[in-house]
């Protein structure tokens, strides 16, 4: 399952389309980050990615969007607490199809 631009915009409560390209890039970056942490591609998980991984993907995308200026203004935000909790279950876990 892929998250959509509409999913993330709903989470952010954004109704305009001015930043659709930016949000789309954040979706892709968050997916890459999660796949690196869990050690497999989300598409390779038999039966599709579990709801916890999808929720982590949305949360991380929102985090990337909301903190896109952190490097410029010197502030830094930690990942949302629930992000690590959601991914902890899936790290290095073998899924049914052997994806690791």
Output the pTM of the full model.
Answer: 0.77
pLDDT value of position 71: 53
pLDDT value of position 99: 54
Q: How many residues does the chain have?
A: 100
pLDDT value of position 27: 97
| Each residue's pLDDT expressed in tens, for the chain with a length of 100 residues | 789 999 999 999 999 999 999 999 999 999 999 998 888 899 998 888 999 899 999 999 999 998 876 555 555 555 666 667 777 777 655 555 555 4
Q: Which of 77, 81, 62 is nearest to 3 (CA)?
A: 62
Distance separating alpha carbons of residues 24 and 61, to the nearest angstrom: 9
Distance separating alpha carbons of residues 86 and 58, to the nearest angstrom: 11
């Amino acid at each position: 399952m892929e998250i959509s631009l509409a999913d993330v915009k709903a989470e952010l409560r954004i109704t305009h389309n001015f930043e659709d390209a930016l949000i789309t890039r954040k979706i892709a970056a968050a997916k890459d980050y999660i796949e690196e942490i869990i050690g497999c591609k989300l598409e390779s998980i038999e039966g599709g990615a579990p709801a916890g991984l999808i929720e982590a993907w949305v949360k991380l995308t929102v985090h990337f969007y909301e903190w896109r200026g952190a490097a410029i203004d010197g502030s830094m935000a930690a990942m949302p607490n629930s992000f690590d909790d959601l991914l902890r279950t899936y790290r290095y876990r073998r899924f049914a199809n052997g994806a690791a």
